[in-house]
């Protein structure tokens, strides 16, 4: 990613990665016409603040969170969590998926936010409420998500990546992240609220410890993509062990009684299941790349399963209302609403690096630069002679709403 290169930093006057996080002088979003939030936020001081933890498993697609591949996480979920089994990201890539998690507005705003280093309303609120911040990522915060100069730009002494001695295997970094997280929790006073962000990376490289090879099931009838998917699933099982260890630790510390925990992903990962040669992520707005898991542990809700459509746009409103006591309407700072009370979305804006899509339950309209668009069905096959999406006007309005009052 060019903005992390030494040449870029020298050209733009950055002596090191940390200095690129310096906030612009004499800049406020409102002065340039960006109103996020649109109005000053209101809070109920009688609502007790909760600890907040977001566990993000890079590239974890929704359909692999099962009893067989992630038994530990599923056992916890069935005991005390809410499983949202029709949940969608706001993007098909790490940068756009993470943006929708922390900002709750369309990723079409991401470039502006990154260029001007506009912090997240969610993070700003926790800073104002004096939360301790535990940011633990396996890979670099500054590439490709650029969280160091967006959502976390106001957090001092930011931990930018996991550093380990010896072999630099991603699975070893993911393990070290888990250990460091637990050690950090040991330092937090019991009467102080905290925010935790754990971002695991092993699926992005289809990695896992050597002894997990015995879990791979490959036969001669499989093609190359199917074989790759089997390696991916071995990594899923390894992630289950780490995530379960985090949940077990929270339960042992008796923290789940006043902590909201969300387990999700930035995007899915495709292995040409539709037979159209779309693979990986960032290549299509297909169901496989856009759907992600979402499991929420909230002291105010028992074990349940939600089947209606939800999205990453609902994360910020849920945490602001249930965790931080915000009483302002969600539309003042987000495109979503509370996960537990919202109606299913009828359309969703999905973002990528150069285009966007309007996703509906039965079709996807992909918009390209220059005005060209195409419409695809839920299996991502092209629809001939499609009608324009009836939600096009609404989507365009949402992509400009935070640029004006």
- Does residue 15 register a pLDDT over 80? no
Q: From CA 156, how far away is CA 66, in angstroms rounded?
A: 38
- Does the structure show a pLDDT above 70 at 368? yes
pLDDT-derived band at 206, boundaries 50, 70, 90: confident
Strands 364-367 and 259-264, sheet pairing: unpaired
Query: Residue 13: which pLDDT band, with cuts at 50, 70 and 90?
Result: very low
Q: Can you give the pLDDT at residue 311?
A: 98
Q: Which pLDDT score is estimated for 1?
A: 27
Residue 265 and residue 307: Cα distance in Å, rounded? 18
Rg (CA), the chain: 21
Q: Predicted confidence band at 5 (pLDDT cuts at 50, 70, 90)?
A: very low
Q: For residue 85, with 0-12 CB atoms within 10 Å meaning exposed, 13-18 middle and 19 or more buried, which class applies?
A: middle
pLDDT, mean over the chain = 93
The predicted pLDDT at position 14 comes to 41
85-125 confidence digits (pLDDT tens) = 999 999 999 999 999 999 999 999 999 999 999 999 999 99
| pLDDT score of 300 | 84
What are 337-359's pLDDT values in tens digits?
A: 999 987 999 999 999 999 999 99
Residue showing tokens 């979503």: 336
C-alpha 181/C-alpha 197 separation (Å) is 9
Average pLDDT over residues 238-266: 98
Q: What value does the mean pLDDT take over residues 225-253?
A: 98
The yes-or-no verdict on residue 379 having pLDDT over 70 is: yes
Q: Determine the average pLDDT of the residues in 57-82.
A: 98
pLDDT tens, 211-238?
Answer: 999 999 999 999 999 999 999 999 999 9
Mean pLDDT confidence for 316-331: 98
Give the DSSP H or E segment for 365: strand 364-367
| Model-wide pTM > 0.75 | yes
Q: How far is CA 96 from CA 90, 105, 106, 187, 371, in A?
A: 7, 10, 9, 33, 21
Q: How far apart are CA 286 and CA 376, in angstroms?
A: 9
- Mean pLDDT on 299-315: 96
For 141, how many CA atoms within 13 A lie in the half-sphere containing its CB? 24
């Amino acid at each position: 990613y060019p903005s992390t290169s030494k040449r870029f930093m020298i050209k733009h006057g950055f002596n090191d990665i940390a200095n690129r996080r310096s906030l612009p002088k004499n800049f406020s979003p409102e002065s340039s016409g960006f109103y996020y939030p649109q109005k000053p936020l209101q809070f109920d001081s009688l609502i007790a603040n909760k600890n907040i933890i977001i566990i993000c498993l890079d590239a974890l697609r929704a359909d692999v969170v099962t009893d067989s591949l992630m038994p530990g996480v599923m056992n916890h979920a069935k005991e005390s969590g809410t499983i949202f089994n029709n949940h969608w990201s706001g993007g098909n890539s790490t940068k756009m998926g993470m943006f929708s998690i922390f900002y709750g507005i369309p990723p079409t705003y991401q470039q502006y936010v990154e260029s001007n280093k506009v912090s997240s309303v969610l993070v700003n609120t926790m800073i104002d409420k004096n939360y301790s911040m535990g940011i633990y990522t396996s890979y670099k915060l500054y590439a490709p998500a650029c969280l160091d100069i967006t959502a976390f730009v106001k957090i001092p002494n930011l931990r930018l990546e996991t550093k380990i001695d010896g072999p630099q295997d991603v699975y070893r970094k993911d393990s070290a992240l888990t250990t460091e997280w637990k050690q950090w929790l040991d330092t937090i006073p019991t009467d102080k609220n905290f925010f935790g962000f754990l971002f695991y990376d092993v699926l992005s490289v289809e990695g896992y410890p050597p002894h997990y090879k015995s879990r791979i099931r490959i036969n001669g009838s499989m093609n190359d993509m199917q074989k790759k998917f089997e390696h991916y699933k071995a990594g899923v099982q390894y992630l289950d062990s780490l995530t379960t260890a985090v949940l077990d630790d929270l339960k042992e510390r008796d923290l789940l009684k006043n902590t909201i925990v969300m387990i999700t992903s930035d995007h899915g990962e495709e292995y040409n299941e539709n037979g159209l040669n779309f693979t990986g992520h960032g290549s299509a707005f297909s169901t496989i790349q856009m759907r992600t898991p979402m499991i929420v542990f909230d002291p105010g809700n028992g074990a349940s399963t939600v089947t209606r459509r939800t999205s990453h746009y609902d994360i910020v409103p849920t945490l602001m209302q249930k965790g931080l006591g915000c009483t302002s309407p969600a539309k003042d700072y987000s495109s979503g609403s509370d996960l537990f009370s919202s109606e299913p979305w009828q359309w969703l804006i999905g973002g990528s690096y150069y285009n966007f899509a309007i996703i509906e339950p039965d079709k996807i309209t992909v918009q390209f630069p220059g005005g060209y668009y195409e419409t695809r069905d839920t299996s991502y096959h092209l629809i001939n002679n499609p009608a324009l999406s009836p939600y096009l006007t609404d989507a365009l309005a949402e992509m400009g709403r935070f640029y004006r009052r």
